Amino acid sequence: MNIWVKFTLLGLLAALSINSCTKDKELEKPLVGVSPSGLSVNSPVGEYVSFYITVDTDIQLRQFRITSQIDNPGEPLIVELDTGLNSLTSFELSFSFLVLEAAANSSIIVNFAATDNNGNVGSRAMRIYVGPLPPDPTQPELLTETSGHKMYSGNSQNADAYNLEAGVAMFSFSSDSTDLDLKDMPLNDTTDLISRSWVSPSGGQFVKFSAFDYANATDSSLLNAYQSGVELSKVDNLVDGDIILTRLVNSSSFQYAAIQVVLINDPDSTDLDFYLFNFKK
């Protein structure tokens, strides 16, 4: 039998209760009470679910059994506690049930059953709804991409900087520098050419890494690639298709990003000079 759910007995309080007097009416079967009340509880993987059980009967008990099974056809029994309780007529039990990975995204039916010496059975069932497996911190996690971001030339009348955390373009002259992860750095004040150069007013650093596997980027591949490159405070000579890795210093949600330059638009008018890019974080 595969033991997929562990258990611990926290306490067993039993009292011998042999009554020599004849009762007017005996219980037809043992009464089983389970706390928490209700028919179901929720639990994440790796947590204990604690139950407090009471059993009362007018006839001495023969057996108390706890069984549980994943609520899917064909799944095997995953834990069984079978306790002989000869001569007892009542007891209290605290029981802790550890939900393991085998039950993720499923439910477990736990049944508590008491049998008296006449063969009468009283039972109570509870269902545990189990959450998904938690992410494995040792496994690489694919990065999430957002696309269609646009930042204009510093010589234009449009937003010439970008906040990667918020995913919004900003005007460098009216924004706090700590919010500006990217900014176009013009060649001079009069040129009609887009500079193809970025800086980070917030203090971030860049690594130009066009061989980086952007399509399959993970958190670990991005970190490894960034750390293997040369950090720059300014990145120059940008062209369509370039991959720029950056380390952010003021982000609360992520620290590294991989930027894919999709298009550098450089017509005659400076107001239409812009960078179109996607990024993963």
Looking at residue 121, its pLDDT comes to: 95
- 83-125 per-position pLDDT tens digit: 777 678 899 999 999 998 889 999 999 999 999 999 999 999 9
Q: Return the sign of the alpha-carbon dihedral for residues 231, 234, 237, 238.
A: positive
Q: pTM for the whole thing?
A: 0.56
| Residue whose entry in the numeric block shows the structure tokens 């696309």 | 147
Looking at residue 73, its pLDDT comes to: 63
Looking at residue 12, its pLDDT comes to: 43
Contacts of 260 (CB under 8 A, 6+ apart): 214, 241, 242, 243, 277, 278, 279, 280
| CA-wise closest residue to 160 among 188, 186, 192, 184 | 184
Looking at residue 76, its pLDDT comes to: 64
| CA-wise closest residue to 90 among 67, 66, 122 | 122
User: What amino acid is encoded at 117 in this protein?
Assistant: N
Low-confidence ranges of the chain (pLDDT < 70): 1-26, 73-80, 86, 136-137
